[in-house]
Amino acid sequence: MYHPRELYPSLGTGYRLGAPQPGADSSFPPALAEGYRYPDLDTPKLDCFLSGIEAAPRTLAAPPPLPPLPPTLGTEAPPPAPESLHPLPGVSLSLDNRELWKEFNSVGTEMIITKAGRRMFPACRVSVTGLDPEARYLFLLDVVPVDGARYRWQGRRWEPSGKAEPRLPDRVYIHPDSPATGAHWMRQPVSFHRVKLTNSTLDPHGHVRPRLGPPDKGWGWDQGRGSLLFLPSQLILHSMHKYQPRIHLVRAAQLCSQHWGGVASFRFPETMFISVTAYQNPRITQLKIAANPFAKGFRENGRNCKRERDARVKRKLRGPEPVATATYGSDAPGGPCDSTLGGDARESDPEQAPAPGEAAPAPAPPCGGPSAEAYLLHPAAFHGAPGHLPTRNPSFPEAPDSGRPAPYSAAFLELQPGPPGSGYPAAAPPASFASHFLQGGPFPLPYPGPGAYLDVGSKPMY
DNA sequence: TCGGCTCACACCTTTGAATCGT
DNA sequence: AACGATTCAAAGGTGTGAGCCG
């Protein structure tokens, strides 16, 4: 099977986003290569940072004509374009659980989406090198549509079956450790296993997960400022559409920094998937059950495996019987049902815990701006950042944040103009980090938050 | 009729608090 | 009193299958 690292060893295992190199690989269908250009990247995807309350969904722009769609997932072999929007020199990302992803991709990865949100499995877990150990970075994850088609499972494979639904509000998931030092990120793989996929757009606050009450079960609570802090945990997708996760690395001192020193964006072709509300390909179901520890009950010798479920149904029809236990005790180690295929099942390995001091970097000056509470009351008032706000200095020397209040929103990203013909905009509008998200202080949060997306608690998210 | 979606369910892992022993 | 190991319960993550809906 195609393996990018083998085809392009000089590029390492991570591929930055960017326009295809001219004449980089003539064997690759131009139309398909276009699909990897991610023309939407120019839309200030980052400016839509948590624009979950954006009122009008945008139609998926699809000129030029749709590329010919591959017959199945997992057969595509796009050449990576070693180019980034803003260089973070020497930074390299590799997919840590690549083998697992490849296994799924060879079948055609499907991801369940639900109203409540479903975690991705496999999760995106990457190792990063080449960061400045002293500088601080944000790790972001988003998911973008691959093409303008809707798909249907035709018994043996996925086939396009019409035009894609209008595009949903863009959201970006921020790794809860963000911002952290380069040393922190490079110490162990960075996992995005807590991100959830949903098909629900009904949440009035978009990305905000409405759990109340600091600090036990609720919003992120910045004790330093005594205010709320919001993080997205769910990315909104359409069912039966093909998506590609992307990982962005932003050099910035804080989430709400007005100064940031560049972006590197990466994607891994093997992480492409089709979103579904119920699995279509039985092979994917088997793989998920075999690899995901939470689905252990559905394995061959689990109580919830098909054989046992059928038996229970029969017993039910025949009337009550003594509970059988002997037949369930065969969870012998070493059998196929014990396999977790490694990787994601070990994400909470305590051995990978960071050093005690690492999880709590020195607090940075708080951001100014309107309060998150105010956003809750009047979310619309927080959108439409004025264009005169500070923009990124291209020669950013990691200037420390001033700590003074931002005049409107807490922080902004501005994409640099791309080179001619790169597919990037000549001048991107100021990108607004949604202010409601950015209220509060630095990360990790100063409280132990179990279970939630804000969790940066005693057990590191690796 | 059919494809897609939602929901309740049983089973499982994860997580954190409580308890106990040293 | 402090620390680590163990136990326990609650929370939450799984796929399944029936039923609903357009």
- Tens digit of pLDDT for each residue in A51-63? 322 222 332 332 2
Range list of β-strands (E), A253-338: 260-267, 273-276
Contact A50, A436 (CB under 8 A): yes
- Give Cα separations from A335 to A286, A325, A332, A338, A339 (angstroms): 15, 20, 6, 6, 7
Q: Rounded distance, CA A367 to CA A254, Å?
A: 9
Cβ of A118 near strand C (distance < 7 A): yes
A192/B7 CA-to-C1' distance in Å: 27
Cβ of A114 near strand B (distance < 7 A): yes
Q: Number of helices (H) and strands (E), helices first, in chain A? A: 8, 19
Other Cβ atoms less than 10 A from the Cβ of A355: the count is: 9
Tokens of A67: 């590329």
Instruction: List helix spans (H) across A199-305.
Output: 282-291
Q: Return the pLDDT at A294.
A: 92
Chain C positions with a protein C-beta closer than 7 Å: 11-18
| Range A22-29 contact pairs with CB under 8 angstroms and sequence separation of 24 or more | A24/A79, A24/A81, A25/A79, A28/A77, A28/A78, A28/A79, A29/A67, A29/A68
Measured in degrees and rounded to the nearest 5, phi and psi for residue A97 equal -105, 45
| Strands, sheet with A234-236, edge to edge from the N-terminal-most edge strand | A118-119, A196-198, A234-236
> At A295, is the secondary structure helix, strand, or coil?
helix
Please identify every stretch of chain A with a pLDDT value under 50, giving residue numbers as ranges.
1-85, 204-230, 317, 319-462
CB within 8 Å of A198: residues ≥ 6 apart: A113, A114, A115, A116, A117, A118, A234, A235, A236, A237
Could you give the angle at which helices A282-291 and A98-107 cross, rounded to 10 degrees? 160
Closest residue to C11 measured CA to C1′: A451
Which residues on neighbouring strands pair with residue A451, listed in sequence order?
A: none
> At A241, is the secondary structure helix, strand, or coil?
strand
Letter for the amino acid at A448? Answer: P
Tokens of A308: 């046992």
Q: Which residue has the tokens 């039966």?
A: A240
Give the length of chain A: 462
Cβ of A298 near strand C (distance < 7 A): yes
Q: Return the pLDDT at A222.
A: 37
Q: Return the pLDDT at A304.
A: 61
A153/B2 CA-to-C1' distance in Å: 14
Q: Rounded distance, CA A430 to CA A389, Å?
A: 8
Nearest CA-CA partner of A101 in A128, A123, A73: A123
Q: What nucleotide is nearest A150 when CA is compared to C1'?
A: B4
Cβ of A315 near strand B (distance < 7 A): no
Other Cβ atoms less than 10 A from the Cβ of A405: the count is: 13
Question: Do β-strands A173-174 and A136-153 pair in parallel, antiparallel, or remain unpaired?
Answer: antiparallel
Cβ of A283 near strand C (distance < 7 A): no
Q: Rounded distance, CA A105 to CA A76, Å?
A: 10
* pTM of the full structure: 0.59
Q: Rounded distance, CA A67 to CA A31, Å?
A: 5
Cβ of A297 near strand C (distance < 7 A): yes
CB within 8 Å of A169: residues ≥ 6 apart: A48, A51, A52, A53, A54, A57, A201, A206, A236
Chain-centroid distance, C-alpha A423 = 23
Q: Return the pLDDT at A283.
A: 94
Which residues on neighbouring strands pair with residue A111, listed in sequence order?
A: A275
Element containing residue A112 per DSSP (H, E)? strand A110-112
Tokens of A162: 């019409």
Cβ of A153 near strand B (distance < 7 A): yes
Between the two ends of chain A, the Cα-to-Cα distance in Å is 29
User: Given CA atoms A25, A31, A36, A37 in this order, what sign does their dihedral have?
Assistant: positive
A349/C3 CA-to-C1' distance in Å: 21
Tokens of A383: 């959108």
Q: What nucleotide is nearest A292 when CA is compared to C1'?
A: C14
Burial of A71 (0-12, 13-18, 19+ CB in 10 A): exposed
A112/B6 CA-to-C1' distance in Å: 13
Q: Return the pLDDT at A400.
A: 26
